[in-house]
Amino acid sequence: MAALTFTQRKTVNVHWTDEIKGGSVSIQANSPAWEEPKEVRNTTNDGYATITFPADFTGECEVVVSGSHGGEETGTVTVQ
């Protein structure tokens, strides 16, 4: 049996309003420390999601949530 490998991560919960339309959302995160925005995840539009960051990441990160049928919200999270 193969050994399991665990990686330390930090998580941030993100919530959005019902202005985001459609059954799914695309969530992007962008930090000045990165060369380009990262596609964090696509998920169902249930109003919240968890974003995972590397354990050594700290700082501010802009988060953009886009609905599959319209609507977009942008906010900033601080990862400590």
Q: What is the pLDDT along the chain (80 residues), one digit of tens a residue?
A: 666 666 788 899 999 999 999 999 999 999 888 888 787 889 999 999 999 888 888 999 999 999 999 999 999 999 98
Domain residue limits, the chain: 9-79
CATH number, domain 9-79, options 2.60.40.3110, 2.40.160.60, 1.20.1250.20, 1.20.1180.10 = 2.60.40.3110
Residue 60: per-residue pLDDT: 92
Q: Looking at the chain, which runs of residues are DSSP E strands? A: 9-15, 24-30, 38-44, 48-54, 59-67, 72-79
Give the model's pLDDT for residue 23: 97
Q: What is the pLDDT of residue 35?
A: 83
Q: What is the pTM of this model?
A: 0.82
What is the rounded distance in angstroms from the CA atom of residue 6 to the CA atom of residue 38?
A: 22
**pLDDT at position 74:** 96
